């Protein structure tokens, strides 16, 4: 239990607990940890002010308890750049304000009211921005059975390949859903037919290939009725929603092509484009159980890469191994070709277009991990 705002938990592996990290009435920094194989909650905050929960990997929730990756209530936390996967409960639960940004959440699967990427309840009003959520039972869920319900701002996310992209589970709630890609789900936005859940806004989104419907029981007049074209010349409804293929060129994370209908039709307040920008998702995230021995600034480029990566800031005499592995844990051989004593390249043209981690092992037994995106 942490109750000191000066605390920091960093570069730890926490595994096989009931609850891994608990925060009470304080605002510590929880970053660059791996939390896995837990029973109930990976990171839990209660009545805190502004905790920072950043750059953590949280995975393998116990299937018999429907665990939660990160659960917050009563404050304004920053939940950013976390990778949360392989659970049966909820990736993130928010009962407060704050920021939920640049997270990658996937494979949270369970029947009924579980299997949710991000769940918002009570009178919470978080800003849910620039997240990628896929292969969950429900990407984002909101609602409450009493009071006014939650009022999240859901902006510039990419939500795809879920059973339902955005769902409700209570009688009250008023989300704002804007600049978000909702594609290749079974259902798009799904609400109960008799619930008091009128979104304050559903605008400037892209809907595509949601075969059970882009939306259901949404009491907004004219939603989906094409009336005009946007600045790209694409047909839109009265709320500037688009109903076209986003033209993804990669799946994980979902980059889209230069001629995508998502380009240049966003909003200067948020982003010029619709959907998540994967380049903002902490692609150079460093994780490990020891302090990093070299800086991450300009360490690996280009990122995303096509077949060759340049790594700078190394010491040739102190690097031992550099394996690749993907998000499932599968390892790939990778050999460094040294250009100088501090710069090297890796050539890999046989990889699929997903996220990889490069593990750099040093002679002092420390390690550094860099997340890379294959085009």
Task: Work out the burial of residue 201: count CB atoms within 10 Å of its CB; fewer than 13 is exposed, 13-18 middle, 19 or more buried.
Answer: middle
* Phi, psi (rounded to 5 degrees) for 168: -120, 150
DSSP class per residue in 260-295: -TTTT-SBTTTBSSSS--GGGS-TT----SS--SS-
Question: Does residue 364 fall inside a structural domain?
Answer: yes
Question: Does residue 286 fall inside a structural domain?
Answer: no
Q: What is the pLDDT of residue 290?
A: 37
The rounded distance, in Å, linking the Cα atoms of 210 and 188 is 6
Q: What is the 3-state secondary structure (H, E, C) of 332-370?
A: ECCCCEECCCCCEEEECCCCCCCEEEEEEEECCCCEEEE
The domain boundary, picked from 224, 248, 280, lies at: 280
Question: Does residue 287 fall inside a structural domain?
Answer: no
Residues 159 and 219 in one domain: yes
Question: Does residue 199 fall inside a structural domain?
Answer: yes
Residues 262 and 314 in one domain: no
The rounded distance, in Å, linking the Cα atoms of 274 and 196 is 28
Asked whether the CA dihedral 280, 281, 284, 290 is positive or negative, the reply is positive
**CA proximity to 19, closest of 41, 1, 3:** 41
Largest CA distance in the chain: 67
Is the Cβ–Cβ distance between 127 and 99 less than 8 Å? Answer: yes
The domain boundary, picked from 249, 280, 311, lies at: 280
pLDDT tens for each residue of the chain, 375 residues long: 666 667 899 989 898 999 999 988 888 999 989 898 899 999 999 876 789 999 999 988 876 778 999 999 988 999 999 999 888 899 999 999 999 999 999 889 887 678 999 999 999 999 999 999 998 999 999 998 888 889 999 999 999 999 999 999 888 889 999 999 999 999 999 987 766 677 889 999 999 999 999 999 898 999 999 999 999 999 999 999 999 999 997 766 688 888 999 999 987 788 889 999 877 776 434 443 333 333 333 367 776 788 888 887 778 888 876 777 775 567 787 778 888 887 888 888 788 777 777 777 777 766 666 777 777
Residues 257 and 214 in one domain: yes
The rounded distance, in Å, linking the Cα atoms of 370 and 368 is 7
The rounded distance, in Å, linking the Cα atoms of 356 and 135 is 18
Residues 216 and 307 in one domain: no
Residues 41 and 12 in one domain: yes
Residues 271 and 304 in one domain: no
Residues 35 and 67 in one domain: yes
Question: Does residue 288 fall inside a structural domain?
Answer: no
Could you tell me the CA-to-CA distances from 82 to 40, 132, 146, 207, 240 in Å, in that order? Answer: 18, 11, 31, 26, 31
The rounded distance, in Å, linking the Cα atoms of 243 and 261 is 9
Residues 166 and 59 in one domain: yes
Q: Would you call 202 helix, strand, or coil by DSSP?
A: strand
List the CATH number of the domain containing 308.
Answer: 2.60.40.10
Residues 31 and 161 in one domain: yes
The rounded Cα 8 to chain-centroid distance in angstroms is 23
Q: What is the pLDDT of residue 293?
A: 35
Question: Does residue 100 fall inside a structural domain?
Answer: yes
The domain boundary, picked from 232, 250, 280, lies at: 280
Q: What is the pLDDT of residue 24?
A: 85
* Phi, psi (rounded to 5 degrees) for 151: -135, 65
Residues 369 and 243 in one domain: no
- Residue 332's domain comprises 300-373
The rounded distance, in Å, linking the Cα atoms of 88 and 135 is 12
DSSP class per residue in 311-323: E-S--GGGEEE--
Question: Does residue 289 fall inside a structural domain?
Answer: no
Q: What is the pLDDT of residue 79?
A: 96
pTM for the predicted model, two decimal places: 0.78
Residues 209 and 309 in one domain: no
Question: Does residue 205 fall inside a structural domain?
Answer: yes
Residue the block writes with tokens 């946007």: 230
The rounded distance, in Å, linking the Cα atoms of 369 and 374 is 16
Pairing, β 215-216 against β 187-190 = parallel
The rounded Cα 41 to chain-centroid distance in angstroms is 18
The rounded distance, in Å, linking the Cα atoms of 58 and 159 is 19
Return the C-alpha torsion angle 223, 227, 230, 233, nearest 10: 130
The rounded distance, in Å, linking the Cα atoms of 250 and 254 is 5
Q: What is the pLDDT of residue 313?
A: 73
Q: What is the pLDDT of residue 295?
A: 36
* Phi, psi (rounded to 5 degrees) for 44: -125, 130
Residues 165 and 269 in one domain: yes
Q: How many domains does the chain have?
A: 2
């Amino acid at each position: 239990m942490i109750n000191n705002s000066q605390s920091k938990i960093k570069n730890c592996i926490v595994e096989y607990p009931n609850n891994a990290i608990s925060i009470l009435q304080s605002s510590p920094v929880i970053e660059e940890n791996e939390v896995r194989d837990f029973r109930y909650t990976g990171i839990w905050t209660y009545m805190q002010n502004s905790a920072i929960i950043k750059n953590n990997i949280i995975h393998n929730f116990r299937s018999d308890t429907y665990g939660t990756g990160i659960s917050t209530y009563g404050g304004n936390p920053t939940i950013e750049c976390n990778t949360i996967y392989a659970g049966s409960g909820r990736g993130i639960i928010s009962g407060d304000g704050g920021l939920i940004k640049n997270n990658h959440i996937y494979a949270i699967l369970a029947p009924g009211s579980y299997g949710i990427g991000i769940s918002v309840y009570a009178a919470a009003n978080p800003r849910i921005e620039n997240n990628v959520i896929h292969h969950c039972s429900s990407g984002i869920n909101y609602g409450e059975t009493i009071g006014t319900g939650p009022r999240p701002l859901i902006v510039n996310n990419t939500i795809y390949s879920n059973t339902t992209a955005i769902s409700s589970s209570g009688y009250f709630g008023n989300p704002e859903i804007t600049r978000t890609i909702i594609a290749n789900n079974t259902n798009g936005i799904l609400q109960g037919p008799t619930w008091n859940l009128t979104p304050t806004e559903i605008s400037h989104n892209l809907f595509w290939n949601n075969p059970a419907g882009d939306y259901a029981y949404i009491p907004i007049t004219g939603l989906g009725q094409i009336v005009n074209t946007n600045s790209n010349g694409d047909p839109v409804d009265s709320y500037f929603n688009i109903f076209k293929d986003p033209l993804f060129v990669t799946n994980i994370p979902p980059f889209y092509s230069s001629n995508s209908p998502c380009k240049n039709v966003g909003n200067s307040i948020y982003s010029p484009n619709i959907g998540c920008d994967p380049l903002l998702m902490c692609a150079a995230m460093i994780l490990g159980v020891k302090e990093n021995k070299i800086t991450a600034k300009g360490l690996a480029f280009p990122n995303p890469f096509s077949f060759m990566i340049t790594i700078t800031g190394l010491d040739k005499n102190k690097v031992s191994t550099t394996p690749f592995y993907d998000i499932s844990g599968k390892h790939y051989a990778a050999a460094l070709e040294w250009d100088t004593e501090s710069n090297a390249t890796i050539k890999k043209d046989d990889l699929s277009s997903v996220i990889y981690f490069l593990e750099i092992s040093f002679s002092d037994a420390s390690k550094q991990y860099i997340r890379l995106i294959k085009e």
